[in-house]
Amino acid sequence: MLIALDWGTTSLRAYLLDNRGNVVEKRAVPLGILKVPGGDFEAAFEQACGDWFAAHGPMNTLACGMIGSRQGWREAQYVNCPAAMSDLALKLTRLQTKRGASFAIVPGLTCVNTLGVADVLRGEETQILGALPQDSASTQIFVLPGTHSKWVMTEAASVTSFATFMTGEVFALLREHSILGKTMEGDAHDAQAFDQGCDYAREEARNGAGLLHALFSARTLRLTERIAARSAYAYLSGLMIGAEMIEALRYFAAPRSITLVGEPLLVARYEQAARRCGVDAAIAHAETTVRGLWRIARAAQRASPSPLAGEGVSDGTS
């Protein structure tokens, strides 16, 4: 059996997998790396998964996400792009836990853009690997919306490059702390207002302006009462996701289609914005992270029969 952990900034999702990779049990606990009391990751891990060890004995654990960042349990390296996804399994960072069994962390990815500046991701590499068709040969663009959206270009089973867009974080700041948030009511979706925001971002870009100017329309459309307070959230959301879509589509030389990976509600918004921008958007199946973790664990086992090889390796002391 294997414990697969999607351990991010705000939450820890734990999966217990059987020897064929099926999810036997799963749970989410609010023990993201910034919420672990005193940074005691061992205790948090025990709290989340201790009963699985008690019930099933020593098992290997594979984790991805911010648990491998400088603020996490142990800093895991970044692998340079272009990176064959099969290489991830060869570059795991291992640490010892009281449970005795192996605990490994998946590396992140880094790529240096044409301006010589590095970009980084951590966690998304595992989602991509989980979302990649087994026989993928062509070039694809995966889009993983979130606090920091990642646009990832793959060729066959390698990540060739990627780029981060801070859309989610900027949107949350504007909503919570800016003058734009002050005249919003609620956070309901409103497809028409969302489209209107998206269209405005596109038209501004055509006009030569960009986000810093487009944002102010969320203020003046409220002032002139052309957007209702209850639609202002959706308008700003459409405007910002639309702005990201325009930036990213230009950056990746106007792909005709993208594949969206992530939380269904957010993916639905990106799908709507993509359609509005004339781009086909496919949606990856759910549970890409756990599928990616399983693939990496299997590849690690093939590459080296220990220590991610299965139950027999650990001596079971705790």
Q: Does 277 bind a second copy (CB under 8 A)?
A: no
Q: Hey, which residues between 45 and 74 contact a second copy (CB under 8 A)?
A: none
Give the DSSP letter string of 78-124. EEESSEEGGGGGGG-EEEE-TT-SEEEE--EEEEE-TTS-EEEESSH
User: What separation in angstroms does the CA of 163 have from each of 17, 116, 151, 303?
Assistant: 32, 13, 5, 30
Binding flag, residue 188, a second copy (CB under 8 A):
no
Question: Which two tokens mark 96?
Answer: 């010892």
Give whichever of 91 and 219 is closer to a second copy, judged by the CB atom: 219
Q: How far is the CB of 246 from a second copy (least distance, A)?
A: 8
118-121 sheet: strands from edge to edge:
78-80, 108-112, 118-121
Beta-bridged to residue 167, according to DSSP, are none
167 is an interface residue for a second copy by CB under 8 A: yes
The pair of three-digit structure tokens given for residue 51, joined into one six-digit string: 């009963």
Judged by CB under 8 A, does residue 266 bind a second copy?
Answer: no
Query: In 3D, which of 51, 52, 6, 62 has the Cα closest to residue 29?
Result: 6
Using the contact rule CB under 8 A, the part of the chain among 132-140, 171-179, 187-195, 274-282 near a second copy is: 171-179
The tokens describing 62, both together, are 């594979």
* From 55-63, 97-105, 197-205, 255-263, span contacting a second copy (CB under 8 A): 197-205
Give 240-288 as a DSSP string.
HHHHHHHHHHHHTT--SEEEE-S-HHHHHHHHHHHHHTT-EEEE--S-H
Closest by Cα among 106, 100, 101, 53 to 75: 106
Query: Does residue 185 bind a second copy (CB under 8 A)?
Result: no
Candidates 84-92, 116-124, 275-283, 286-294 — which segment interacts with a second copy by CB under 8 A? Answer: 116-124
Q: How far is the CB of 27 from a second copy (least distance, A)?
A: 27
Q: How far is the CB of 271 from a second copy (least distance, A)?
A: 19
Of residues 224 through 243, those in contact with a second copy by CB under 8 A are 224, 240, 243
Q: Which residues pair with 63 in a beta bridge?
A: 5, 105
For a second copy, the closer of residues 30 and 116 by Cβ is 116
- Beta carbon of residue 255, minimum distance to a second copy (angstroms, whole number): 13
Under rule CB under 8 A, residue 173 binds a second copy:
yes
- Per CB under 8 A, contacts with a second copy among 118-137 are 118-120
Q: Which of 54, 55, 212, 265 binds a second copy (CB under 8 A)?
A: 212
The nearest distance, CB 34 to a second copy, in angstroms, is 11
Number of residues lying near a second copy (CB under 8 A): 47
Residue 36: closest CA among 13, 10, 15 = 10
Amino acid letter at 186?
G
Of 176 and 315, which CB lies nearer to a second copy in the complex structure?
Answer: 176
| Interaction of residue 306 with a second copy, rule CB under 8 A | no
What minimum distance in Å lies between the beta carbon of 56 and a second copy?
A: 38
CB of 237 within 8 A of CB of 269? yes
Rounded (10°) angle between helices 124-131 and 288-303: 90
Q: Which listed range, 41-49, 50-58, 203-211, 266-274, lies at the site for a second copy (CB under 8 A)?
A: 203-211
Q: Which residues bind a second copy (CB under 8 A)?
A: 113-115, 117-120, 148, 163-167, 169-170, 173-174, 176-179, 200, 203-204, 207-213, 215-217, 220-221, 223-224, 240, 243-244, 246-248, 250-251, 253
